[in-house]
Amino acid sequence: MKFFITGGAGFIGSNLADEVIQRGHKVTVYDSLVTGHESFIQHHFGSPNFQLVKADVLDVSLLEKSMEGHDVVVHFQANADVRGGIHNTRVDLEQNTIATYNVLDAMRKHNIKNILFSSSATVYGEPEVFPTPENIAPIQTSLYGASKYAAEAMIQAYCEYYGMRSWIFRFVSFIGKRYTHGVIFDFIKKLHHNPSTLHILGDGQQRKSYLNVSDGVNAMLTAFDKANDKTNIFNLGHHEYMNVVDLADILCAELGLQNVNYTFAGGSRGWLGDSPFVHLDVSKIKSLGWMPQKSIREGVIDTIQYLQENNYLFEYRD
């Protein structure tokens, strides 16, 4: 099959591209390279099974032209900063919801029937049920979550109207190879500037589930291979979770730092719209035979080691 991956030069997209090509399929990466990196995909340059289109999903004419002839669309390109919508209220609408509409309508015009979509655990807002199953009706607490939930609804409507099939994945925070943003990245960057003090948003007791990107990619492809409903919605997370202070302790130990002073912004959440506890019910994806191969602790250590070996990534973030 021929896969069209928006955001395919990013953290998760590039890992998925690797796996899809490894399985013998062809891949077109469509990426603006604003947050994606050529270095993540350059090992495919020159391969007859790989093509890179440097463009944004908001460029409708180029998107439509580039998508023609593909069998599967994997839509990753989006605003990845959950907090960004607090100060720029259009970014999630444009980069997440409108961008998804552009992808779907290009699919409609080219009669492409399969879409895999990266949604988010943020669509659940602050649920009262843990682990949180896919059938919880969420109340939105962030513009980011609302934009992803709106995109999910639009995908479902296109599936009904135009005979498409969708695989919608509600992610926890992914970690691992090519990780470029999130709490581990931010903590290491802070400690590079001041190795004696680490400022932590919230009270440090926020509990989060993290999933290694290799496990996440395998989960997505397992669902694509085995789930055959018109719309397939899966939580992708770990059966474990970890609080932020424990993560900070592991990070400081891996960096060889002792007696680091933790300071806290206070409150139960790191920012407006941040859920203090993220723990998804992953029994649905496990029922297809998938299991995470790495513990959260192993994934955190892998991520720290990767970032230490690829310090150049810190140059791209203020």
Residues with catalytic annotation? 144
Burial class (CB in 10 A: 0-12, 13-18, 19+), 266: exposed
Q: Which residues contact 278 (CB under 8 A, 6 or more apart)?
A: 121, 172, 173, 207, 208, 209, 237, 241
Burial class (CB in 10 A: 0-12, 13-18, 19+), 316: exposed
